[in-house]
Amino acid sequence: MATQETQQLDEIIVNGRRKMLSLGTTALAGLVFAGINTPKAQAATLTDNDILNFALNLEYLEANFYNLAVFGVTIDKLSTPIAITGTGTQGTVTTKASFKAVPFSSSLVKAYATETAAEEGKHVTFLRTALGSAAVAQPAINLVDSFNTLAVGAGVGTSFDPFANDAFFLIGAYIFEDVGVTAYHGAAGAISSSSILTAAVGIHAVEAYHAALVRTTINAFDSNPTVSGVPTGTLTNITQKISAFRSLLANPTSAPTTQTTDGGIKGADDQGIDNTVKVALNTSSATFPSTTIVDADNNSIGFARTPQQILSIVTGASPANASGGNKGVFFPAGLNGTIN
């Protein structure tokens, strides 16, 4: 018998397909990118503080998502609050009405979420300490309309609530973690200070651990409907749609021509979880079943994205406005700092 979660997800998928067919690609793009600023000239050379503040904006987003999921409050309302003041315009976090923490049914998923919430909070504190008085304030963050907009754009449905249950929480986490990994990788080459670079690489490693844990757990959930409450294959199919849309946002004019994912997707810089992949081991034919837990190119090197590509994903700006002013999706009023 269908569970409440199954019915909700089925409705999302069916409505999403209908919406996609009725809108068409042109109208859909207009819906997703409505109100986004147009491209301008490339911004001036960035400093290490500019890059750290850009990372801080993203960490504010992740830390609030995970702490809301586990504890039901934003990071400034924790029993030991995390500071959110600084330069720029300080904003609040928008959540659904009568918000409550995720009603986790799996103790393991809740434990994973709790650990990640603590670590993302520490990233915020670490970056704020490193920046000192130069740290930007937490900008306005939207954790309602953002997911709904991305759900439409990715063809998942007309709405999506990552705080509804374990399975949907994992999908919400999936949206963030791979983006964080590519952001730190992409910024590494622009950092001049060796000590800051070392710290950034360390944070990149933790974000990669998070991404792998989320992807592995989704894969496990997807093969066990009695635990996830959704039909087998549903969650991995959603990850493929999300990855395709992230790649489209990051590469709005054309997909990369020199990249191929580990899963064999040509011209892409993102790949969802897929259990149908076959690989060759000491043989000329690819016959051994594999999966795509690692989001990497055909040389098993993780993808990297520029700040403009990351802005395109987190604000829905396509292409990103390089001289500033990108706003929308997760950052309705834009980001604080030089990279915005």
58-97 pLDDT tens trace: 999 999 999 999 999 999 999 999 999 999 999 999 999 9
Rounded Cα–Cα distance for residues 303 and 213 (Å): 17
pLDDT at 209: 97
Q: How confident is the model at residue 28 (pLDDT cuts 50, 70, 90)?
A: very low
Summarize the confidence of residues 247-268 as an average pLDDT. Answer: 84
* CB-based contacts of 19, cutoff 8 Å, min separation 6: 28, 152, 157, 158
171-201 pLDDT tens trace: 999 999 999 999 999 999 999 999 999 999 9
Could you tell me if 155 and 20 are in contact, meaning their C-beta atoms sit under 8 angstroms apart? yes
Could you tell me if 287 and 280 are in contact, meaning their C-beta atoms sit under 8 angstroms apart? yes
Token pair belonging to 308: 């403009």
More confident residue, 45 or 72: 72
Dihedral (CA of 313, 316, 321, 327) sign = negative
Domains in the chain: boundaries:
4-315
C-alpha count within 13 angstroms, C-beta hemisphere, residue 91: 22
* Span of 58-62, 273-277, 282-286, 313-317 with lowest mean pLDDT: 282-286
pTM: 0.85
**CA-to-CA separations, 181 to 86, 189, 200, in angstroms, rounded:** 25, 14, 11
- What is the DSSP code string of 221-241? HHT-HHHHSS-TTHHHHHHHH
Q: How confident is the model at residue 8 (pLDDT cuts 50, 70, 90)?
A: very low
